[in-house]
Structure 1
Amino acid sequence: MQQNRVRIADIVIGSRLRPVSAAGVESLITSISETGVMKDAIHLRKKKDGSLHLLAGAHRTEAARRLGWDEIEAKIWTDVTDDWARLIEIDDNLAGAEMNALDTAVFLATRKAIYERLHPETRRGVAGAAGRWDATEPSSVAFVKSTADKFGMPGITGG
């Protein structure tokens, strides 16, 4: 991973799990105008052909574009899988964006599908109850526990 300033015009914004909301962009523009700072860098995936694809930060990118910026601070990732790239988008939104219940459900369902592809031993009917809920091996931690731990909600799983 490297961090650089990149030209906004060079960023490819592909399919997203949810569209950019006007209210979210306006809120960012107001914050940036008041403080003079964009709090977080966006995350990009540099593909083998050199193109830069947005992983996380669609609202930040749109706010910068509307403010007339030519460049934006970005963390650039190479050699990442499609699943890892999607997890970055999901986790960025789950951790920081205000989402309605439907958006949250879509993001969690997509995260669960990816998690189970990466950790097939945790799928329902594969690991048994111990593997799903009370596993001690990191590679067999269930989706619910993993997600709760990641987002600071240990009480969800009794931890």
Structure 2
Amino acid sequence: MTAQQVTLRTMTTAEYRAATEHREAESVRVLSRTMAEDLARERVAQGTARFLPDGLETPGHHLLTAENKAGEAVGNAWAGPDPSGAAASAWLYDINVFEPHRRHGYGAAILAAVEELIAADGRTALGLNVVGDNAAAIALYRRAGYDVASMVMRKQV
């Protein structure tokens, strides 16, 4: 497969709304495995309010749409300050490849473009979280050279 390339641009207001709805729904789906759905929805809404208090205009955050060579939106990403406060590090809060474009190399292309962007911002590392059963995402990050920095495990008893 030929390596894909993407161009990143700031999301439009409509794209931001759609990306937020998608991200929040996915987060609620994952959190609902370990807590009541209403509590998961509350926690996710609090997270969005905490990390993106000004939405699309939140300083220091990149809310991005990825376009292929034809100018078609193929996915999006959200990168910003590392929540640990590490000044040299950025954080990948979300990355998404739109359904019709999955399994065509766009995830790797979006990730590489985000890495270039944060490097241009003067950051020397990019951290992220990945849900343990998301095999496709884990494989993508491993291929891109990411290592496990910590691991939390859980068992329902």
Q: What TM-score comes out, normalization by structure 2 length?
A: 0.35
Higher strand share: 2
**Structure number with bigger Rg:** 1
Q: What TM-score comes out, normalization by structure 1 length?
A: 0.34
Higher helix share: 1
